[in-house]
Structure 1
Amino acid sequence: MRASVVAVVTLMLLAAPAVHADEPVMSTSADLDGDGKPEAISVQWADGDAQFVLKVGSATVRGKTNDAEVRGVFITDVDGSDKWKEVAVHMGLTDDDSRNTVYGFDGKTLKEMGSVRTLTEVRGNGIVLSDSWMGFWNLREKYSLDRKAWKLNHVPQELYFVGTEATVKQSFPIVRSHKDKAVVANLAQGSKIQVLAAMPVGAKRYGDYWYLVKSSTGLLGWTQVQNLHDKTEGLPWAG
C-alpha cells in the first residue's frame, strides 16, 4: 500500500456546514442569464411520463426521467463570480432514485450541464459536492464547473472517506488489497475497528466497494461489505 494513500485516509478533517438547495417548485422566475430581467421558469411532467419539459423564457428542452418522479425545479448558483445562475430539475423520492439535472441558460438556449445525485453543497466557487447514501456511509462526490463548455465535470477519487466505527462480533480477516488476499490481520471478536475509506471496484459508479479497515492494534487492511454487515455491529445501517 502506498504511503500517500495511508496518509490521506488517516487524517481527521473538519467539514464545513453544508449549503442545501431550496425545496423544488413546478414554476418560478429568476434572472439566469444576468441581463437584469427575470425569466419565467417551469417544468411540465405527468405521472408515468419518460420525459419532462423544462421551459425558461422562450427556450424549451426535454429531459429523461429514468423512471423517477419529477418534483420540480430550483435555482442554484454554481459560480458566484460570473453573471449566470443555473436551474436544476429535481427527480426522485428516495436516496436510491434521487437525481438533479442541471441546466444553464445563455439568454437564448438551455444547456444541459450534467446530472448529480444530490446538490449537497453549492457555495458559488465553481464546485458542487454531492452525497449518496451507501447503506452505512455517505459517498461524497465532487463536480467542477467548466464554464466554457457549460459542463459539470465529475472529479473521480481513488478512495472515498467513510469514517465510521464498529465492534467485531465475529472474527474475520483483513487483507492486503482486493487483488492480493494475503492476510494482514484477523480481527479479534469484541475489538473496535474503524472503517476509514471505500475503494470502488469495477466499472459501475455505485457498484462494488472494498473497505479499508483499521484494527484496534493499528493495522490496516481491506475487506468487503458482507463482512462488515454480517460480522460487526454498531455501523449506522439504514435503507
Structure 2
Amino acid sequence: MKMKAPVLAVMTCSLLTAPPVLADIEGPIKSGSVDLNGDGTPEAISLSFDEGKNEFTLKAGGATIQGPGDDNPPEGVFIVDLDSRDKRKELVVRTGQTDYDQRSNIYGFDGKSLKLLGTVPALTEAKGNGIILSDSWQGFWNRRDKYVVDAKTGKVSEVPQDLYAVGVEATVKQSFPLARSRTDKSTIATLAQGSTIQVLAASPSGRKGEGYLYLVKSSTGLLGWATAKDLTTKTEGLPLAG
C-alpha cells in the first residue's frame, strides 16, 4: 500500500484560507489568470498535455514552456507564493503517480518568459518564507529534504543533509551485528533476537545499489550502523509499504 504520500493542499480559485501547513496554494487549474510578476496585471495561465510527445505545455502571458510527462496528463497547475517578501508567485506542475516517481516542477515568470526554477520530489510544505520541505517515501520511512529559494533569482536549491531522520521501531527476529561506523564494519553490538530496536537516522551509503545505511539504537542503549538488507530481512514491525 502507498504510505505517507506528501499532501499538497488543493484550493479553488475563490478566496479561501489556505491550511496552516501549506500557505498560499491555489489549484490545480487547467486555465485561469493571476498576477505572477507583481506588476498589477494578471497573466493568463493554461496547461495542456500532448500524449503523443508525452510532454506538458505551460503558458503564462505570452510565454510558453514544455516539460516531460509521465504518460499521464498532470492534474493541473498550482499557483504558489514561495516567498511572501517579494511580489512574485510561482507555478507548480506535478508529474508522477507514486511516492517514488512524483516530481513537482516549479516555474517562475519574469514578465517575458517562463523559467524552470527547480524540481523537488514533492512540494510538501511551503509557508512563504523561502523554504520548501519535500517528502519522499523510502520503503519504511519518510525522507524529508529542505530546499531554499534564492531571493534574487528565484532559483530553488537543495540544502544537503548528512543524516535523515527516520524514527521507527522494529523487533529483531534474527540476530545481526551493528557496525562501529559507516566506514568501520567492526562490531559495536550484536542485536539479540526478540529485542526492540530504534532506527534513528539514515545516511546514503555512497555505494552503488546499497541505498542507505541506518543508525540503530539497541535495547541496551548502544548505537551502531545497519544495512537496509539486515533491517528489512532480519526484523519485523517496520512500516513497510507493499
The normalised TM-score by structure 2 is 0.85
Determine the structure 1 residue equivalent to 2:3.
none
* CA distance in structure 2 between the aligned counterparts of 1:207 and 1:143, rounded to whole angstroms: 25
Q: How does 1:15-94 map to 2 (within 5 A)?
A: 18-19=21-22, 21=25, 24-65=28-69, 69-94=73-98
Show structure 1 runs of 5+ residues with no match.
1-16
Structure 1 residue 69 displacement after superposition: 4.5
Determine the structure 2 residue equivalent to 1:10.
none
Structure 1 residue 162 displacement after superposition: 0.4
**Against the structure 1 CA distance between its residues 179 and 66, is the aligned structure 2 distance closer, same or farther, given a 3 Å change threshold?**
farther
**Against the structure 1 CA distance between its residues 30 and 203, is the aligned structure 2 distance closer, same or farther, given a 3 Å change threshold?**
farther
Correspondence 1:151 to 2:155: yes
* CA distance in structure 1 between the aligned counterparts of 2:210 and 2:106, rounded to whole angstroms: 24
**Against the structure 1 CA distance between its residues 226 and 23, is the aligned structure 2 distance closer, same or farther, given a 3 Å change threshold?**
farther
Q: For 1:95, which of 93, 99, 119 is the aligned residue?
A: 99
Show structure 2 runs of 5+ residues with no match.
1-19
* CA distance in structure 2 between the aligned counterparts of 1:216 and 1:19, rounded to whole angstroms: 38
Determine the structure 1 residue equivalent to 2:204.
200
Q: For 1:230, which of 221, 229, 233 is the aligned residue?
A: 233
* CA distance in structure 2 between the aligned counterparts of 1:147 and 1:88, rounded to whole angstroms: 18
Determine the structure 2 residue equivalent to 1:112.
116
* CA distance in structure 2 between the aligned counterparts of 1:237 and 1:48, rounded to whole angstroms: 36
Structure 1 residue 111 displacement after superposition: 1.5
Q: State the SS of the aligned residue for 1:226.
A: helix
Structure 1 residue 72 displacement after superposition: 1.9
Structure 1 residue 48 displacement after superposition: 4.7
Determine the structure 2 residue equivalent to 1:165.
169
**Cα pair 1:69 1:93 within 8 Å, conserved:** no
* CA distance in structure 1 between the aligned counterparts of 2:199 and 2:241, rounded to whole angstroms: 16
The letter of the residue matching 1:181 is K
The letter of the residue matching 2:204 is P
The normalised TM-score by structure 1 is 0.86
4+ residue runs over 4 A deviation: 20-23, 66-69
* CA distance in structure 2 between the aligned counterparts of 1:60 and 1:72, rounded to whole angstroms: 15
Determine the structure 1 residue equivalent to 2:215.
212
* CA distance in structure 2 between the aligned counterparts of 1:208 and 1:29, rounded to whole angstroms: 43
The letter of the residue matching 1:97 is D
Structure 1 residue 177 displacement after superposition: 2.1
**Cα pair 1:72 1:91 within 8 Å, conserved:** no
* CA distance in structure 2 between the aligned counterparts of 1:116 and 1:156, rounded to whole angstroms: 13
* CA distance in structure 2 between the aligned counterparts of 1:144 and 1:233, rounded to whole angstroms: 37
Computed over aligned residues only, the root mean square deviation of the Cα atoms, in angstroms, reads 2.0
Q: State the SS of the aligned residue for 1:229.
A: helix
* CA distance in structure 2 between the aligned counterparts of 1:203 and 1:111, rounded to whole angstroms: 34
**Cα pair 2:28 2:78 within 8 Å, conserved:** yes
* CA distance in structure 2 between the aligned counterparts of 1:71 and 1:38, rounded to whole angstroms: 22
Determine the structure 2 residue equivalent to 1:221.
224
Structure 1 residue 170 displacement after superposition: 1.0
* CA distance in structure 2 between the aligned counterparts of 1:87 and 1:76, rounded to whole angstroms: 6
Residues 140-182 of structure 1, C-alpha deviation per residue, up to 9 Å, x if partnerless? 0000111323210111100000011111111111101232110
**Cα pair 1:87 1:103 within 8 Å, conserved:** yes
**Against the structure 1 CA distance between its residues 48 and 92, is the aligned structure 2 distance closer, same or farther, given a 3 Å change threshold?**
farther
Determine the structure 1 residue equivalent to 2:16.
none
